[in-house]
Amino acid sequence: MSGHGERRTMTARKGGPLRGEAEIPGDKSVSHRSLILGALAVGETRIEGLLEGQDVLDTAKAMRAFGAEVERTGPGSWLVRGVGVGGFAEPSDVIDCGNSGTGVRLIMGAMATSPVTATFTGDASLRSRPMGRVTEPLALFGARAVGRAGGRLPLTLVGARDPLPVEYRSPVPSAQVKSAVLLAGLNAPGITTLIEAEPTRDHTERMLRGFGAEVEAEVTEAGRVIRLVGQPELRPLSISVPRDPSSAAFPVCAALMTEGSDVLVPGIGLNPTRAGLYFTLREMGADLAFENEREEGGEPMADLRARFSPSMRGIETPPERAASMIDEFPILAALAACAEGKTVMRGVKELRVKESDRINAMARGLEAMGVRVEETEDSLTVHGMGPGGVPGGGMAAARLDHRIAMSFLCLGLAAKAPVSVDDASPIDTSFPNFVPLMRALGAALEG
């Protein structure tokens, strides 16, 4: 089974300041979509800056299994020769998506309206995550899924032979559900409509348009209504993947909480559906500047400069902001422990079904570091201890979750006593150069 390498414990301790420039790898969401849409186009799609983390490599392998040619031509440079919408071949073996919820859910959508059958699995984290949120709307197109209790992996999906277009209102604020429905809609005749109550990341819609599909989005009383015209011929594209704002969040927050730090993180994608953390940090009083703001490949982008911020205050993040910073709550929780006063994160129930139950994982880990927290089903409260005030000196369980591991390693750089994580190997799924990059900035990471 693919997934992570050897289990490895790591420890972070207070050292000098973090200083210098950090080259963040490509955006994970955009990387998955580049490979999948490239595989559904007719002809050669070229991708630059692809994230070469395990999650994305598993998606590349899956696209080969469905018949696309996927080739690495250099570091971050990839070529995909697609089979066209409806052209997927039947994989001859089980598709192993490792740790990736985005990978498996988008691929299930992409194959659901083709007459092929595939069985999906993943690591222990992915096998515990709910898939019904995707297989239910895919059933409306005519696909059939048989999985374990609660729709969990391993799961076999039988694609629809005569797919129907669908109108679906997503019950959860999830870009993965939205994307699975839109990708399935590609091979259904007529118009597929997806309605989301709250806007979630819109990379799929943007990229579908780039590949030549007709996609319209409209904000109505009911929410955001997205309409896709089915059975387009997708034209291959040249894609430059922006750097991942969710990965940038780690060196940025580490710099804000570590005395004397000054870190520049160039070329970060600041799509408004992803940028909630950065606005939150400014509200907290972080010394964070957006330099050289520009647009590249249709995505807003800037160089971020983060300096040690000793006077950050706790705040409340409102539920309507949760989707735009959903992956950043673990590092925000770590940072909040170093601010003055309490931080309340509201409307964050979706964190319970990520790579781990992130509310619980952060709450237990912070407690082990001497921080007071409160959780409800839908919220997390962290009582800040001020700059340099977190005791540390504990071991946090990473629970096969890259963002939990990175959050505690960042916290260890600012805590009084070292912070350990029991397994840092999941970091390779999204940010393979995290450890060398942080060390180059001056972080004392051991293990």
Q: Which residues bind ligand S3P (CB under 6 A)?
A: 29, 102, 174-176, 179, 201, 326-327, 350, 354
Looking at the Cβ atoms of 174 and 193, the one nearer to ligand S3P is: 174
Query: Which residue in the list 287, 327, 423, 428 is annotated as catalytic?
Result: 327
Taking the CA atoms of 383, 388, 393 and 395 in sequence, report the sign of the dihedral they define: positive
User: Pairing relation of β-strands 340-346 and 316-317?
Assistant: parallel
Looking at the Cβ atoms of 113 and 179, the one nearer to ligand S3P is: 179
Q: Nearest approach, Cβ of 118 to ligand S3P (angstroms)?
A: 20
Q: Assign 3-class secondary structure to 328-367.
A: HHHHHHHHHCCCEEEEEEECCHHHHHCCCCHHHHHHHHHH
Cβ atoms of 231 and 204 within 8 Å: the answer is no
Looking at the Cβ atoms of 4 and 354, the one nearer to ligand S3P is: 354
Looking at the Cβ atoms of 361 and 413, the one nearer to ligand S3P is: 361
Taking the CA atoms of 33, 36, 40 and 43 in sequence, report the sign of the dihedral they define: positive
Looking at the Cβ atoms of 134 and 335, the one nearer to ligand S3P is: 134
Q: Nearest approach, Cβ of 83 to ligand S3P (angstroms)?
A: 22
- Identify whether 327 is a catalytic site residue: yes
Tallying the residues shown for the chain, one arrives at 447
Taking the CA atoms of 267, 271, 277 and 278 in sequence, report the sign of the dihedral they define: positive
Among residues 166, 222, 213, 219, which one has the least CA distance to residue 194?
166
Please give the residue whose beta carbon sits closest to ligand S3P in the complex.
29
Count Cβ atoms within 10 A of the Cβ of residue 60 and give its class: 0-12 exposed, 13-18 middle, 19 or more buried. buried
Q: Nearest approach, Cβ of 163 to ligand S3P (angstroms)?
A: 22
Among residues 390, 398, 443, which one has the least CA distance to residue 420?
398
| Paired strand residues for 318 | none
Looking at the Cβ atoms of 91 and 173, the one nearer to ligand S3P is: 173
Helices (H) and strands (E) in the chain, counts: 13, 24
| CA distances to 123, 268, 332, 415 from 339, in Å | 35, 25, 10, 12
Q: What is the DSSP-derived secondary structure letter of residue 388?
A: T
> Which token pair is 167?
């109108």
Q: Nearest approach, Cβ of 291 to ligand S3P (angstroms)?
A: 26
Looking at the Cβ atoms of 339 and 362, the one nearer to ligand S3P is: 362
Among residues 83, 113, 294, which one has the least CA distance to residue 187?
113
Active site residues: 327
